[in-house]
Amino acid sequence: MALVAYGGGIIQMSGSIAGNTFAHNKSGNYVRARTKPVNPNTARQQTIRAAIAELTVHWAHTLTANQRTAWNLYADNVNMKNRLGTIIHLSGFNHYIRSNTTLWALEKGRKDNGPVVFELPTQDLTLAVTASEAAQQLSIAFDITKDWAAEDGAYLWLFQGQPQNPQRNFFAGPWRYVGFVQALDPGPVVSPVVVNVSFPIGELQRQWIYARIIRADGRLSEAFRADCFCAA
């Protein structure tokens, strides 16, 4: 599925042309293929799908009306950007699923109470990575002075991208989860952290990673990245 921004005479489109369907939702206009994509249904996909399904049930039947209202209020006050850079607002349910999916999949509990701080956690622009073919490991460095690092219940999620040829300058996936850093109160946590790879890596390949911070109150940051060339 692709997002689109119309202009220059076309301001809206809905329906199907050839193999493409044009439509819109609260996040904006989009185009999708009329045919269903291939579904590998891997073990990782099954884990995430199961987590989302369970969280959906919790949202509907476990959370109180006040808790759902708190998530909706958070959603109304937090600006998000789609892939075109347009400001959008997710629903409270979207934020609840967004914040809790990885927590629940890793058996780290749930954040049922909606956040009362109406902003996303700041990204860590110092994130850095080195990769070793011999060890098949990544060494990931981050800023241990950031607020999340000394907050009980906060985590740094870490994801590895599929290694690419060294001349590649852009990467958009696929990604796999490779580990986490759990905050320590009073701290400090240890940086760098060493994790085993999920995708095998080879010397000189270009390796991307991304990370997200989840605060103890359930606020999940946008993704932030780092990359390197794999050492021998």
Residue 96: its H or E element: helix 92-105
* 17 and 47 fall within a common domain: no
On whether residue 120 sits in a domain, the answer given is no
Residue 33: its H or E element: strand 28-33
| Mean pLDDT calculated for residue range 66-81 | 96
Give this prediction's pTM. Answer: 0.83
* 184 and 219 fall within a common domain: yes
104-141: pLDDT as tens digits:
988 899 999 999 999 999 999 999 999 999 999 999 99
Residue 146 structure tokens: 């950031």
On whether residue 23 sits in a domain, the answer given is yes
* 20 and 51 fall within a common domain: no
Angle at Cα 80 formed by Cα 75 and Cα 85, nearest 5°?
Answer: 160
On whether residue 113 sits in a domain, the answer given is no
* CATH number of the structural domain spanning residue 142: 2.60.40.10
User: For residue 204, which of 133, 109, 100, 114 has the smallest C-alpha distance?
Assistant: 133
* 93 and 134 fall within a common domain: no
* 59 and 9 fall within a common domain: no
Taking the chain, what is the end-to-end CA distance rounded to the nearest angstrom? 38
Contact 73, 92 (CB under 8 A): yes
Number of domains in the chain: 3
* 206 and 138 fall within a common domain: yes
* 152 and 214 fall within a common domain: yes
On whether residue 110 sits in a domain, the answer given is no
Percent of the chain at pLDDT exceeding 70: 86
User: Is residue 4 scored above 60 in pLDDT?
Assistant: no
On whether residue 67 sits in a domain, the answer given is yes
Q: Give residue 86's pLDDT.
A: 84
Q: Which domain holds residue 12?
A: 2-33
Contact 96, 78 (CB under 8 A): no
On whether residue 95 sits in a domain, the answer given is yes
On whether residue 115 sits in a domain, the answer given is no
* 168 and 224 fall within a common domain: yes
* 95 and 141 fall within a common domain: no
